[in-house]
Amino acid sequence: MIITDGAQPRLARGCRFGADDTLLVPEGVLRLKGTGAEILKRCDGTRTLGEIVGEMREQFVGMVESDVEEFLRKLNERGVVEW
């Protein structure tokens, strides 16, 4: 799948944030760390991938677009993020 800067990622149906940077998914719980939690908090279906990357670069020095894209691609494969 080719992901463009205009793609608007969002949490998949049945996925939601729990306490302490955990993500509740139909199969269980994912514990999020550091930038992963911050990336997913921005996946609200209104922000584009480009906007998320821009916000992450402002907050975390050295953030690379390909890292954000790869993280979201892996979560998409697991059914956690939709485009």
For the record, the structure tokens of 73 come out as 């691609």
Quote the mean pLDDT of the chain. 92
Q: What is the mean pLDDT of residues 59-76?
A: 92
In DSSP terms, 28 is beta-bridged to: 25
Residue with tokens 């049945």: 14
Segment 23-32, tens digit of pLDDT: 999 989 999 9
Distance (Å) of CA 83 to CA 13, 16, 31, 70: 12, 16, 22, 14
Q: What is the pLDDT of residue 75?
A: 95
Domains of the chain: 10-82 (1.10.10.1150)
Q: How far apart are CA 55 and CA 79, in angstroms?
A: 24
Q: Does the pLDDT value for residue 1 go beyond 90?
A: no
Question: Model-level pTM?
Answer: 0.89
How far, in whole angstroms, is CA 21 from its chain's centroid? 13
